[in-house]
Amino acid sequence: MKKLIRITVLGFYSFTVVALLVILVKTGFSYYTTPIENRFFHDMHVSLKPSGFLGHGYGIVGTLFIILGVSLYMLRKRYRIFSRVGLLKYWLEFHIFLCTIGPILILFHTAFKFGGIVSISFWSMVAVFISGVLGRFIYNQIPRSIQGNEFTFEELQTQNLALSNQLKNKYQINDSLLNKIEKLVEVDSYKSISIPVLLPIIVKDFFLKRRLLKELKKNLTRHNIGNKEQKNILRLSSNKIVLVRRIGLLSVMQKVFNYWHIVHLPFALVMLIIMVIHVAITIVFGYRWIF
């Protein structure tokens, strides 16, 4: 049931993002594809210009979404009193959702005119968005408990051992085959990995994992292991490979994640400050939308 609710929520998030994009594009495609010099003479200019009813509205609503998405997630994450309100993972997803549709609305608020001080805010927003996507990936590379707390190296080694025992005892994988799996992936092989080569290693591992599992499947077939069992063994092996890689890269990833915070947060702050300046200037010059 919980899984269904989760799928529904994620589906709603995805659908909303796609639907919003479709509506915004459909509404203003002709206007946004008109050269900037000619937009003033476009029928939709009055409405879709950044200070227009719709254009200005996109900006205000988008900004509110971002502020809401950031602040709620920040409150939940940083303040102990909110630590029991829902899983952090779900708040992160909600943060991602609001901070996806917010920038989209702001993108259409700019009417694809990226100039002036606001552009810094905009590009900062883009940087925050991209870094957010990247952060989400890095976040995934660091194994966590259901509560979202990071596992220690020892806890992960125990999990790895448990997987080996499961393969050995549950699926009667003989030692020679198990040794092969163990040899295929070794935690020590990631010891000398530095941050600059991290990305190539991850990409390389992706293909390595596929090759290893393919090789393992051949061995399992040779040992006359049934299909169902083969699947379970391969799943467990896959988890083991990923886990081994994550264990091997744990310290590096933790470092990267720390660095990521250094990047993600300042961009967010720059975006926020310039946005405030932008809004302030706008209000000062009398552009108050419907207010």
Site residues for other proteins per CB under 8 A: 36-37, 39-41, 50, 113, 115-120, 270, 274, 277, 281, 284-287
Cα Rg of the chain, angstroms? 25
Nearer to other proteins, 141 or 282 (CB): 282
Give the shortest CB-225-to-other proteins separation in angstroms: 59
Give the shortest CB-275-to-other proteins separation in angstroms: 12
Give the shortest CB-51-to-other proteins separation in angstroms: 8
CA distances 270 to 100, 273, 275, Å, are 18, 5, 8
CA distance 104 to 113: 14
Give the shortest CB-74-to-other proteins separation in angstroms: 22
Nearer to other proteins, 37 or 188 (CB): 37
Q: What are phi and psi of 171, to 5 degrees?
A: -105, 10
Give the shortest CB-118-to-other proteins separation in angstroms: 7
How far out from the chain centre does Cα 152 lie? Answer: 22
Nearer to other proteins, 107 or 274 (CB): 274
CA distance 158 to 243: 11
Nearer to other proteins, 68 or 263 (CB): 263
CA distance 156 to 247: 7
Nearer to other proteins, 86 or 116 (CB): 116
3-class DSSP assignment, residue 150: strand
